[in-house]
Structure formats: C-alpha cells, structure tokens
Chain A
C-alpha cells in the first residue's frame, strides 16, 4: 500500500513540476517566472523526501534542507532584483 502511495505521490509531484515548467516558459511577466521557480524548488524538495521514503534512507534530508535554504535565498534575491534593481545595496 505504501509503495503504491509513494508511486502516486511521485507521479503527482512530477506532473506538477511539468506544469511549473510550462508557466516558467510562457509566464507573461518576470514575476511569474520567479514564482514558477519558487514552486519548482518546493516540488523538488517533495520529490527528494519521497525518494528518501522509498529507499528507506535518512541521508536525503540533508539534501532537502539544503535545497529549501538555497531556494528561499534565491527567491528573495530575484524578488529584490526585480523590485530594487540590485540584490545588495
């Protein structure tokens, strides 16, 4: 049952990633593209946690924590760049 649920969740998150790629390519505004990137890193984090459940390993949580940190910092930097023109004044 758990293997089926992990497969279902992986397929759903993968489909969500594809939808985000569509918004990243099309996105009429620059902020849409940054939002798509933000959603993509959250979805990739879910994929890594799913891989950790599937393989029964605790090593993947370090990678997930790193991706969460770097994704937040990069979203903040891109939003600052769009609103102020530079990242660090």
Chain B
C-alpha cells in the first residue's frame, strides 16, 4: 500500500524513518559510553527523544499522505516533548540527593524546598 504513494512522500517518510532510527541508536550508545551519570543523562533525554520524534514525523507523513490529520501522532509527540525534560530534571535531582559521584567534583547540596 505504501509503495504506491507518490515518490516525494516516499522519500520524506523514508528519510524521517532513517534519521529517527539513527538518533535513537546514538542516544542509547551515548548512555552506554559516557563516563558519569550526569553526562549519561544527556544522551537519552535529547537524542532518543529526537529519534522517536523522527519516527513520529514519518508516521505523521503517512497519515497526511492518506488524507488523515494525524491527531494521535501529534498528541504523542507533544506529550513526549513535554515530559522528557521533566523526568530528566527529577532524575538529576534524585542523583544529587543520593550524592552520585560526578567528574566535575562534588555536587552542590540540594535545596529541600526545590
């Protein structure tokens, strides 16, 4: 079904899929290779979010090419892009509270009310 689409749609969908897959892989490899937790926090929160964003852009292009609006894809993208920084912030606060070692020296004390 998808192979009968216009060539322009096919190129857009395939490019978004490839970019998304590569970014998801880069995020996971970054989480594997970075030396301390605060560096490891960066890779999944940015690269993996962008990778899933690429896959969702491809899915949105599929929906648009068939005349749908793609509300579900937009909802998932919006939700993911709002919640990823929040969970990363909470995880970094938990790491500061647990005194997870950092290569940049001692972590500062966490405020109780924060």
Contacts and interface: CB of A to CB of B under 8 A. Distances in A.
A68 B80 contact: yes
Interface residues of A, number: 51
Contact of B76 (A3, A19, A45, A80): A45
A2 to B, nearest CB: 5
Main SS class of interface, A: helix
B104 interface: no
Main SS class of interface, B: helix
Contacts of B91: 31, 34-35, 38, 75, 79
**Which interface residue of B11, B21, B32 has the most chain A CB atoms within 10 A?**
B21
Interface of B: 1-3, 5, 10-11, 13-15, 17-18, 20-22, 24-25, 27-29, 31-32, 37, 40-41, 44, 48-49, 51-52, 55-56, 58-59, 62, 68, 72-73, 75-76, 79-80, 83-84, 86-87, 90-91, 93-95, 97-98, 100
Interface of A: 1-6, 8-13, 15-17, 19-20, 22-23, 29-32, 34-36, 38-39, 42-43, 45-46, 49-50, 52-53, 56, 58, 61-62, 64-65, 68-69, 72, 75-76, 79-80, 82-83
